[in-house]
Amino acid sequence: MAQRLPWSALQSWLQQLKMLELLATTDTLRQTLLQLSDQAFHTPDWEPWRKHAGFAQTAILPDQQLLGEQRQVLLWVNSLLPFFLAYARQHGELEPLLCRLLLVLPPEPENRYTRFLRQRLFALEAPAFPLSNCSMQQGMLQLAKDFCHNFHQGCHRCELVTLLQEGTSQPLP
């Protein structure tokens, strides 16, 4: 049974992903993926935190989900998509869908790396340059990993600026 359970869970996820493949529009795909996430990470009725009252309240608060949309997106980006991408590299048919999912997932909450890069590269504040999807944010995180070796040295010795000015495509460090 221990060997069947992970396989059946994998098969269930693969069936759900194949269903997503049929969706044509980006908005429909995003909404369906988030609904699928709500179902997959559903808080059971027996969970004590599902219905609880605050310390100063006598009434029970409305049903609470333990994993909100932002946490579900984090799970997709940092766990599920890499796992299924490794699986797809062996089986092939899922890879285009997984890349498409990365393009439709909403971005994770902003962090210091994306804030720093957006301000340095584009000299813009958050409302002027919104990260519209998860792939944009992952790209900015990769730029930070590859080129921002010392956060405090500033950008005057940045290798990315040199590469952009030269217009060459040299291998990344």
Identify the residue with better confidence: 79 or 171.
79
Same domain? For 83 and 155 the reply is no
For the beta carbon of residue 114, count every other beta carbon within 10 angstroms: 22
Same domain? For 76 and 151 the reply is no
Model confidence pLDDT, tens digit, residues 68-79: 778 888 888 888
Angle at 33 between CA 29 and CA 39, to 5 degrees: 145
Looking at residue 3, what is its pLDDT?
A: 44
Helical segments of 22-94, H only: 26-40, 69-75, 81-91
**Residue-number span of the structural domain to which 76 is assigned:** 1-42+63-106
Model confidence pLDDT, tens digit, residues 121-140: 777 665 566 778 888 888 88
Helix pair angle (159-166, 134-147), 10° resolution: 110
Tokens matching residue 111: 């962090």
Residue 17 pLDDT level (bands cut at 50, 70, 90): confident
Looking at residue 172, what is its pLDDT?
A: 53
* 56 in any annotated domain: no
Q: How far apart are CA 95 and CA 29, in angstroms?
A: 16
Same domain? For 71 and 118 the reply is no
Looking at residue 5, what is its pLDDT?
A: 43
Model confidence pLDDT, tens digit, residues 32-77: 888 888 777 777 666 666 666 666 665 555 566 667 778 888 888 8
Same domain? For 101 and 127 the reply is no
DSSP H or E stretch at residue 165: helix 159-166
Model confidence pLDDT, tens digit, residues 92-124: 778 888 888 888 888 888 888 888 888 877 776
* 58 in any annotated domain: no
Looking at residue 2, what is its pLDDT?
A: 40
Which residue, among 84, 97, 101, 96, has the nearest Cα to 13 in the 3D structure? 84
Same domain? For 67 and 133 the reply is no
DSSP state of 170: P
Q: How far apart are CA 48 and CA 63, in angstroms?
A: 11
Looking at residue 84, what is its pLDDT?
A: 86
Looking at residue 159, what is its pLDDT?
A: 78
Q: Please measure the distance between the N-terminal and C-terminal CA atoms of the chain and give it in whole angstroms.
A: 46
Residue 7 pLDDT level (bands cut at 50, 70, 90): low
Length of the chain (residues): 173
Looking at residue 73, what is its pLDDT?
A: 84
Same domain? For 14 and 34 the reply is yes
Domains of the chain: total: 2
Angle at 72 between CA 134 and CA 77, to 5 degrees: 40
Same domain? For 120 and 144 the reply is yes
Same domain? For 88 and 164 the reply is no
Question: Looking at 85, 106, 127, which one is the last position of a domain?
Answer: 106
